Structures are given as structure tokens and as C-alpha cells.
Amino acid sequence: MKIKTDVHAHKSGALRAGSAVLRTVAKKLLPAVLTFCCIEPALAAYTLPDIIDGALQYNPAVGIAAAQKDAAEAAITTAGTYSNPQVEAVMGPSRYRTPGGQGGDRNWNLGLSQPLEFPGVRNARLAVAESGSKVADTTTALIQIELRTRVKNAFYDVLQRQAVLKLVEGDRNLLQQIRERVKLRVDVGEAPRYELIKADTEALAAERDYQAALVRVSEGKAYLRGLVGSSIPVEYDLAGELPLAYSLPSLDSLREQVLQSPQLSQARAARETADARLKLEERLRTPGLTLKASIEQDPDLTQMRFGVAIPLPLWDQRKGPIAAAAADVRQNQAILSDRELALRRDMEAAYQRYLIAQQQVSAFENGLLSQAESVLKVAEAAYRFGERGILEYMDAQRTFRAVRKDYLAARFDYVSSMLEIERLLGTELLEVKP
């Protein structure tokens, strides 16, 4: 009994040791087996808020705008800084030419001068700097709005391309199945040879469309990643859908909102800066004065002097800088008027595209898709019962694919036109949901 017990324990220990070895080997070989079996890990999926947050944080354009804002704030500090005083010290010997003068080698002169700007000049300089800061603020807001719109458009463009890829992939698989069935009928003598040639041609075209759709998806993802930067990996996926449930207000309401566009705010701030610069140039004819004080010591006499130095605009009356500043004012005013007209024109054109896309989407959803599908089903049934040939069936299949592709394109045009109006107005028309 003791011998049997020892043998049983020895076998149990060997089994446990063997199991541990197998588990260790399995842990080491499992990744290689999965790789060999082409089992790839799931890609990280990013939502639209994730992409927008990454773009606002890592896009270089945002950093450039922030640096410009810091420079504008520094200009305000510079405009409010007083000029430094100037100290002048002079030493040297003196010799008297009149009788009785002693002269000496310890003569010295110490002077102090302080430039002071007139209040009007100082206020004008501060106004220029503050207007420049306002321009920087509006530029930052405009860059962020432009970036958000570009990211949204690129995000929805990738979703659109992925929908097209899914569509052409299904068409490719279907046409491959049709080609196999046609080949079987040709082999058994139930169909002529040209039907197989036609099926091969359609299958090759579907494969070409599938490969082109793959490339377009890769291109769209690369462009979207370029807007965000290195915060997302090279290979990634997107989670979201086109915001087709949204609609725009009336055109009259949009015309009123366009006057508050950040683009117009930027142009108005630039015009205010030009006005302030013109006032500054006009007041710089007599910028200020310089207070002076000095003390002079020689062996026989101590002298103290106080004075004021004021520049006289006799030769240089700043006609050139004033004329240039006035021309800059007129230019900025013209730019503001031109940008307002352009915004109204572009907004109305985008609104017309929005209406056309809305009508197209409605037409597809209310009849065209179902009609094309019905025609395809009739053609397929007729082909299976031998009432029609492969050519009629392929034509119906091609028409159905074209209708679905046009429907996807109309959906994206609908969203893209709203995003364009959103960019022009500088407001959030399509709400970003997490």
C-alpha cells in the first residue's frame, strides 16, 4: 500500500509539472499562432469630439495663433512702458583767461534728462496695441472655427468613404457569386459564352471599384490625421454617423447671423487698428518733451540748470507716414466691405446647395432607392427563369449600384453644405455629440 501511494503521488506531481510546462508554452506561442491565423487586434475607435479635442490641442495652427496672441499682449506692455532716463557725466580741466582766475583739474558736470510723451501720443500708442490684441483674439477664434469645420468635414468624409467601401465590397462579393453561377451555366451548356465574358468584365470592374474605395478611405484617414497630428496612431477607426437629422433655419435668419461672423469681426478689428495707427502718426509730429537737470562744478563756481527740450516739426512733419497710415485705413475699410459681400454671396450659394442636397436626399429616400431595388428584383427574377439574359440583369445591377452611390453622395453634400454655412457664420450649427 505504501509503494502504491508513492507511485500515485509521483504520477500526480509529474502531471502537475507537465501542465505547468504546457501553460508556459501556450502563453509564449499564443501570440504567434494568432498572428499566423491573421487575427488582428481591434483598432482604436475615435469619436468626433475626440478628433476635435486632439486637433485643437496639437494642430500647429493653434500654436501659431497662441504665439501671435502672446506677441500682441507683449505689445501692450511695450506701449505702456515709459522711456528710461539718461544720465550724463562730464569731467575735464578748466583754464580762465581773465585775471584772477585759478582754474583746476577737478571740474565736472552731471546732467539728467527724462523723455516724456504727451498724453495724446501715449493713449494713441496704447490704442494701437490694444487693437492689435483684439485682432489676435479674433484671429485665434477664426482659426479654431476653421479648424473645427475642417475636422468635421474630414471626419464625415471618411465616414462617407467607408460607406462607399462597404457598398462596393458587397457589390464585389455579389458579382463574384453571379460570375460563379454564370460560369456553371456556361460549363453545362445552358448559357452562351459571351455571358461569362460579360460576368467577368463586371466582376473585374467591381474589384477595381473596391480597390479604389480602399485607397480613398486610406487617403481620407491620412488627411484627417494630418489635421490632428501625432495624437492618434497611423492605423485607427472612427465611430460616428452623418448628422442627417439636422436642418438649417431660414435664409433671412442666416443673413442676419452673417453680420456677426468672426471673419467680419477680424476685419473690423483690423480697421480699428488702422484708425488708431493713423491717429498715432498724426500725433507723433510733436511726440513729447524732455525734462533736463544738470549741475556743474568748477573751482570758483557751482551752477545748476533746469530746462525743457521740445522738438519742432519744421522739416519733418511726418507727411509720408501719415499718408501711408491713411491709405491703410482706406484699404482695411475696403477689405471689410469686400469680405461682407463675399460672405453674403458664399452663404447664399451654400444655402442653395443645401436645399438641392436636401431635395435629392428626400427624393432618394422617398422613391428612387425603392424603385431601383424593385427593378433589380424583377430583372433578377426574369434572369433566373430564363426570360431575360445576363446583359439585362447586369444593367439593372449597375443601375442599382449607381443609385445607391448617388444617394451616399447626396447625403454627404447635405452635411457638407451645412458645414460650409457653419464655417461662414462661425457658429455651431451641427452639434457635436460625444
Phi, psi of 285 (to 5 degrees): -60, -45
Q: Considering the domain boundaries, does residue 309 fall inside one?
A: no
Predicted pLDDT of residue 105: 63
Predicted pLDDT of residue 334: 95
Predicted pLDDT of residue 393: 76
Q: Considering the domain boundaries, does residue 185 fall inside one?
A: yes
pLDDT over threshold 80, residue 17: no
Q: Considering the domain boundaries, does residue 259 fall inside one?
A: yes
Q: Considering the domain boundaries, does residue 32 fall inside one?
A: no
Highest mean pLDDT among 249-253, 276-280, 312-316, 376-380: 276-280
For the sheet containing 302-309, what is the strand order?
86-94, 104-117, 288-297, 302-309
- More confident: 361 or 93: 361
Q: How confident is the model at residue 41 (pLDDT cuts 50, 70, 90)?
A: low
Q: Considering the domain boundaries, does residue 19 fall inside one?
A: no
Q: How confident is the model at residue 150 (pLDDT cuts 50, 70, 90)?
A: very high
Q: Considering the domain boundaries, does residue 139 fall inside one?
A: yes
Percent of the chain surpassing pLDDT 90: 34
Angstrom distance (rounded) from CA 184 to CA 32: 40
pLDDT over threshold 70, residue 192: yes
Phi, psi of 330 (to 5 degrees): -65, -40
Angstrom distance (rounded) from CA 30 to CA 18: 18
State how many domains the chain has: 1
pLDDT over threshold 60, residue 410: yes
Q: Considering the domain boundaries, does residue 26 fall inside one?
A: no
Mean pLDDT confidence for 59-83 = 90
Q: What is the mean pLDDT of the chain?
A: 82
pLDDT over threshold 90, residue 359: yes
CATH number at residue 194: 1.20.1600.10
Predicted pLDDT of residue 236: 87
pLDDT-wise least confident of 197-211, 266-280, 413-427: 197-211
Q: How confident is the model at residue 305 (pLDDT cuts 50, 70, 90)?
A: confident
The residue among 370, 361, 377 whose CA lies nearest residue 413 is 361
The residue among 267, 332, 274 whose CA lies nearest residue 124 is 274
Mean pLDDT confidence for 266-295 = 91
Return left, alpha or beta for 200; rule: phi > 0 is left, psi -120 to 50 is alpha, else beta. Answer: alpha
Mean pLDDT confidence for 237-261 = 86
Cα dihedral 44, 49, 52, 57 sign: negative
Q: How confident is the model at residue 313 (pLDDT cuts 50, 70, 90)?
A: confident
Q: How confident is the model at residue 184 (pLDDT cuts 50, 70, 90)?
A: confident
Angstrom distance (rounded) from CA 311 to CA 244: 69
Q: Considering the domain boundaries, does residue 157 fall inside one?
A: yes
- More confident: 417 or 5: 417
Q: What tens digit of pLDDT does each residue of 78-110 get?
A: 888 888 999 988 887 776 665 655 555 677 888
Predicted pLDDT of residue 433: 64
User: Domain range spanning residue 410?
Assistant: 47-84+118-285+318-425
Mean pLDDT confidence for 121-143 = 91
